[in-house]
Each structure stands twice: as structure tokens, then as C-alpha cells.
Structure 1
Amino acid sequence: MNSWFEEHFQEDYLRVYDHRDEGKAANELREIMEYVPLEKGMKVIDLCCGNGRHARWLARKGFYVTGIDLSSALLKKAIELTEGIPVQYQRGDIRNIPLLQEYDGAFNLFTSFGYFTDDAENELVFTKACEALKENGWFVFDYLNPTYVKNTLVPEDNIEKDGLLIKQQREVNSGYVFKKITIREGDSQREYMERVKLYDQQQLIEMLERNHFTLKFVFGDYDCSSYDTNRSPRQIFICQKKENGKS
């Protein structure tokens, strides 16, 4: 039986979330990158790159980019949108893909984390980021703020888009945020379930430190505002890989 993300990140995902585009990628990275001392010509890796919107933004800024994702549908779209831009895409499961210490920067963006029920499996994202980076390399990790999610959750909404009737139902339960998406198109109906495990900041910091990262900055949103437990929508960590695993 496939995991929820294997079922979900296909053609319907691209249609439902087509607003997550190049403009949003720019807004999500433009100010954050002022705090990441990478230079043009360096190599970076986008872990769980989706349709490549962040990878393309980084490439346009002069980096040589590798994007990794499990979804063949999202990677197909990424390749279509990336012609003439220096991004290499690779299909693979982040938990077991082999990575060498060849990158100056690593990115895991827009809640591409917490998809597994097992904490150790989720932490493998940080392990793989460390494996991918050279000594003193930089890691940017972007994740939701569980408290903000709980305080602002919209239980249900309905939208119509491009011939689709889309119903989204959300709840927080047993340490996860769930979203059920029902899509009606003509006489057909399709259902998908998203499930993300919630981690508070201290849990994430402990995971990062176990994987040889030193925390340099924490922001609460893409505008680099200070993190506030109750009011910040995001938890954005900028970390540096410790030299030889030292503090």
C-alpha cells in the first residue's frame, strides 16, 4: 500500500496548488537568502523539490542546483518548466538516497517534512542534508508552526477552479494536522488525505543538533520577522554544518 504522499503528489496536486508558483517561491526565498552566505557558482541541493519552483529561483540567482523528489508527476512538470535553467533533477526517496559531501547549501522548504509517523524517519531529512553538505555548509529548513496552525485552522472550505469542485477539510488530532481533499470533476470524485506530524521548535532544534548543525537564525516568516510561538506562521531555521562534527 502506498503512503499518502505517493498517492497525493500527482497531477491533481498540480491543479489544486497551481498558485504555488515562481512568484511565491521568490517571496519565500528573497529575504531569507540575505542571511545565507552562499556565492554564485556554488552547488546547492533542494531536498523534496516538488515541481522545482524553489530550485529554479536558486538557479536564476547563479547557483548550480540539484533537485530531488519522489513524485514522477511533479518532476515531469519541473523538467517542463526548467528548460535553459541549470537544474538537475533526480527521482528518489529522501530516506535512502545516497548523498556525498559535495554541496555548499541544502534546502528543505515549505513543509516538505513530517510526512512519516516515525520520528527517526522524519529526522532522516536532516541526516541527508548533513550528508550532502561540505564542512561548514548551510542548511535552510522551513516548516510550519504547530501553535499557529492550531490557532488559525479553517475546518472546511470549498472552491471552484478550472472545472474542479474542491472541498478541503482540516483538523489537528493526536499530534498531526490532517487535510482531506475531495475533488469533483464532472461525474468523477477523487479523495486525498494529507498528514503532517507536528513538531515544536525545541524538538526540531534537538534533531538538527544531533545531525551536526549549529543554529544561526530562526525566523517566524519569509519576511525574516522574529519567531513568536503564538503569532508566527512558520519556523524557518538557518543552520551551518559543524566542522568535523565539532560544536
Structure 2
Amino acid sequence: MNSWFKDWFDSDFYLKVYSHRNDADARKLLEFILANISLPKRAKVLDSSCGNGRHSILFAQKGFDVTGFDLSLNLLKQANVAKEKFNLPIKLIRADIRTFHVKEKFDLIVNLFTSFGYFVSDEENFAFFYNAFGMMESGSYFIFDYLNPKFLQKNLVGSDSQKIGESTIMQSRRIRDNRIEKEIIVNKLNETYKFQESVKLYPKDFLTEKLMKIGFSIINTSGDYDGNNFNEMNSPRIILIMKK
């Protein structure tokens, strides 16, 4: 299960399963972010694990100088189609989040939609935060958007299924060994495809302690894209606004 993300994110079914995470959802998060930080007019923004570019596109449309990177060729191709559609000068890079580092300095770095916790070790999972800190000037921002383990445990849906076009998608979920694990089975035209997800669960206090040790200052902690205060049992997200 160590490299589940390679097969899953490069499949044609990934964006269908997460179709509810759409442009409106991304726009809501972007507006929350920009309402809580102050950026220069042509700020340099790094969108880590940018996927199909929905956040990168919105940042670029605001006039920011955007770089996005992801490991998935499939998602990067879709991000490239989107940037060309809107004629936006977004720089897209294929890279592994554990090792990504450039000499360029950014005014804002974002890690959104639980693009974290995919690996077995804490060292691998937190590697990007150390590298990101080195790609920031004093006063630069880092936005971290991650699931809330307590809320997830309380509201976990064990299984569900949905019909999308010619595909029937069945999902089963469980928490095991401090990870949320999901099995996705897709039946399409008499063919069956199987995928997995596995994300390590980190409570907020552990995250904030670790991030402050790296050197980040946490200036805001919210529990959803509306900007409501974080509540450990009732907030679906952990959204940290941090500064170097």
C-alpha cells in the first residue's frame, strides 16, 4: 500500500470519485485564504500536490505568479489543459513532495485537500514542511488544509456506492493502525478496477507542535472553509495559516 497514490491519482476514476471537490469548493477555500493573509500584487505562490490545478488556476486568475507541482502525470496533463484554456502562465512541474525543493522563494505556499500523510514514516510525511520553510522569505505564509481525525472517527461512513455514467463505484472505509484506509472498487462495462487510499491520522496538537518546532508561527486555526473556529469534535478540517 506504500505507493497507492501512484495508481489511484493516475486513474481516470479519481476525479469522478471526488467530483464534489469542484471549482466552487476551491473558490470558497481561496477566498477564505485571501481574506486572512496579505500578499503583494504579484506574489509568488507554490501549490504543492496541485493535482488538476483547480487552486492554481484560481490563484493565477487573481494575478499571482503561480507554480504547481504534482507526482501524477495524468493530473498534471489536466492542469495543463486548464491553464491553456484560460491562457494563464502557470509553471507546472512533475515532482515528489518528499524531495521537491527549488532555489526560488515564495510569498505563499499551500498544501490543500489533505495532500499529506500518504507515507508510512513521519520523516517522509513532514519532509516537505522542512523543504518549504527553506523556500520562504521571512513573513511568507504557508496554508495547510488537512482532515480532522476526531471528526472523521465520529462520522466515518463504512461503505457506500454510486453510479457515475457507465461506472459503479463502491467505497469501503476503516481506521486501522492510526490510518484511514479506503478501498475503491469500480465496475465498468464488465471490467473491475481496484484502488486504495491510506492516510496517516495526525491530531491537531501533534501537528502544531511539530510545525512550530520546524519554525512556523501559527496565526490562525480554522475548522472549515467558512473560517469557523476549530473544534476538535465538530470541525471537518484542520486549516492552519502559518507564517515564517
TM interval, shorter chain, is over 0.9
For the residue of structure 2 that corresponds to 1:30, the secondary structure is helix
CA distance in 1, matches of 2:208, 2:65: 28
For the residue of structure 2 that corresponds to 1:31, the secondary structure is helix
CA distance in 2, matches of 1:18, 1:232: 22
CA distance in 1, matches of 2:20, 2:83: 17
Q: What do the CA deviations read for 1:129-156 (whole angstroms, capped 9, x no partner)? A: 2122122210000000000000001101
Q: Residue 198 of structure 2: which of 195, 198, 206 is its match? A: 195
Q: Does 1:208 align with 2:211?
A: yes
Alignment of 1:72-221 (within 5 A): 72-83=73-84, 84-221=87-224
State the Cα distance separating 1:237 from its structure 2 match: 0.3
Given that residues 101 and 132 in structure 2 are in contact (C-alpha distance below 8 angstroms), is that contact kept between their aligned partners in structure 1?
Answer: no
Alignment of 1:6-85 (within 5 A): 6-10=6-10, 11-83=12-84, 84-85=87-88
State the Cα distance separating 1:2 from its structure 2 match: 6.9
Given that residues 99 and 131 in structure 1 are in contact (C-alpha distance below 8 angstroms), is that contact kept between their aligned partners in structure 2?
Answer: no
State the Cα distance separating 1:94 from its structure 2 match: 1.2
CA distance in 1, matches of 2:202, 2:16: 29
Corresponding residue for residue 237 of structure 1: 240
Q: Structure 1: which amino acid aligns with 2:98? A: R
CA distance in 2, matches of 1:233, 1:153: 11
In percent, how many aligned pairs have the same letter? Answer: 39
For the residue of structure 1 that corresponds to 2:128, the secondary structure is helix
State the Cα distance separating 1:101 from its structure 2 match: 4.7
Corresponding residue for residue 228 of structure 1: 231
Corresponding residue for residue 245 of structure 1: none
For the residue of structure 2 that corresponds to 1:181, the secondary structure is strand
For the residue of structure 1 that corresponds to 2:211, the secondary structure is helix
TM-score of the two chains, using structure 2 as the length reference: 0.95
Given that residues 126 and 207 in structure 1 are in contact (C-alpha distance below 8 angstroms), is that contact kept between their aligned partners in structure 2?
Answer: no
State the Cα distance separating 1:28 from its structure 2 match: 1.9
For the residue of structure 1 that corresponds to 2:185, the secondary structure is strand
For the residue of structure 1 that corresponds to 2:232, the secondary structure is coil
CA distance in 2, matches of 1:13, 1:66: 23
CA distance in 1, matches of 2:146, 2:188: 32
CA distance in 1, matches of 2:41, 2:227: 22
State the Cα distance separating 1:40 from its structure 2 match: 2.1
Given that residues 101 and 134 in structure 1 are in contact (C-alpha distance below 8 angstroms), is that contact kept between their aligned partners in structure 2?
Answer: no
State the Cα distance separating 1:22 from its structure 2 match: 1.6
CA RMSD of aligned residues (A): 1.3
For the residue of structure 1 that corresponds to 2:13, the secondary structure is helix
Q: What do the CA deviations read for 1:75-133 (whole angstroms, capped 9, x no partner)? A: 00110111101311000001112222511110000100000110011011211221221
CA distance in 2, matches of 1:164, 1:40: 44
State the Cα distance separating 1:52 from its structure 2 match: 0.5
Uncovered stretches (5+) of structure 2, i.e. residues with no partner: none
